[in-house]
Amino acid sequence: MGLAATAVPADGRYLDKRHGCGHEMDSRAWVADWEYIVARDLARHLVPAVDTKPAYRPAGTAGVPEGAHAALSSSVGWVDDGGLLVVPAAVWPWRGWRRRSLYTPLGVAGIGQQGVGLWVRALPAPGVRVGVSFSDIAAVEDQAGGPCRVIAVTGSPGCLRLRFHDGWAGADGWIRMLRRRAAPVPAPIPPRNGGRRPWDWPGLDSVLLYAGEGIACAGWRSRARSAGCLLALTSHELIIVMTRGGHGSPRRMTRRTLYLPRQSLQAAGCQAETVRVRSAGTEVEVRLWSRKAAADASAWLGQVALTRAHR
């Protein structure tokens, strides 16, 4: 059972297997223009082990680097205190390269009145590196379970990507705030013929935008590979959840969730075992376990896009 989901960003550079980073399209394998792959000996000087700090949502602008709030408010509209997320500089092991590390400089993400932006303290000068308006958001991705947690907001202007130490639950509220701004208008849920409704899916309630909202979903599992995929449709979003057991440790699960706003969905199709969803001008690919499953999901998602176009 092959499982993958990709939202292809307009910026950043993807390092494939030839560069030692594996062949799967993985958000952790995308390196943004403000991130750097450095020698391991240099990494310890950039971020000493004693200076490792967790990400946080500041209670006021006093906890925000100087100039960040003003720059974000100028780029994406006024940013309230609750819309700020500060991600300290960090160094991450870079898979495949034993003597290389990935350095991510200090960043501040802000949810404003018009969209979401990212301010970075990096060369040549600190500033807002990417901003995506709410209407341009194609997908919000949350990947957890590995050495770092990754939040990525993909849209036609570019991709806003954050990395921080996994296990901090404070980011959940920030992601939910962003999702509500990106998907404010509900849409009808087309009926799904056939398939299973996996109400026993672990953590299904936690991915819903609003408690108790209507949902239509279908899921697939592979016990042999400790993997699973869930497609869930609510009146506000299309939610894609993928889980996979860790190498040599099936109990350590990697969970990857994509949230696609309903108003951004444009079309859906399939090729072999892959479902292709076009959202706000961006291709999102979901590889399922069989051609039949891909065709079934594609037909249903095509109805979703059609409902959105005629509402």
- The domain locations on the chain are 4-182, 204-310
pLDDT tens for the chain, 311 residues: list them: 333 444 444 343 333 322 323 223 344 557 888 998 888 888 777 887 656 678 899 988 888 999 999 999 999 999 998 999 999 998 888 766 778 888 999 999 999 999 999 999 998 899 999 999 999 999 999 998 777 889 999 998 889 999 988 767 788 999 999 999 999 989 888 766 544 455 567 678 889 999 888 888 877 776 656 777 888 889 999 998 888 776 555 456 788 899 999 999 888 888 888 888 899 988 888 877 678 778 877 887 877 766 654 45
The side-by-side arrangement of strands in the sheet containing 282-287 is 4-7, 282-287, 274-279, 265-271
Rounded CA-CA distance 26/256 in Å is: 10
- Cβ atoms of residues 110 and 84 within 8 Å: yes
If one counts every other C-beta atom within 10 angstroms of the C-beta of residue 48, the result is: 10
Q: Which two tokens stand for residue 296?
A: 């079934």
Rounded CA-CA distance 127/113 in Å is: 19
- Cβ atoms of residues 78 and 114 within 8 Å: no
Q: Which of 71, 196, 204, 77 shows the shortest CA–CA distance to 134?
A: 77
Rounded CA-CA distance 297/304 in Å is: 11
Angle at 101 between CA 167 and CA 13, to 5 degrees: 90
Q: Which CATH architecture has domain 204-310?
A: Roll (2.30)
- Cβ atoms of residues 215 and 190 within 8 Å: no
Per-residue model confidence (pLDDT) at position 72: 97
- State whether the Cα torsion 284-288-292-297 is positive or negative: negative
- Residue 282: HSE in the Cβ half-sphere, 13 Å Cα cutoff: 27
Element (H, E) at 152: strand 149-155
What pTM does this model have? 0.84
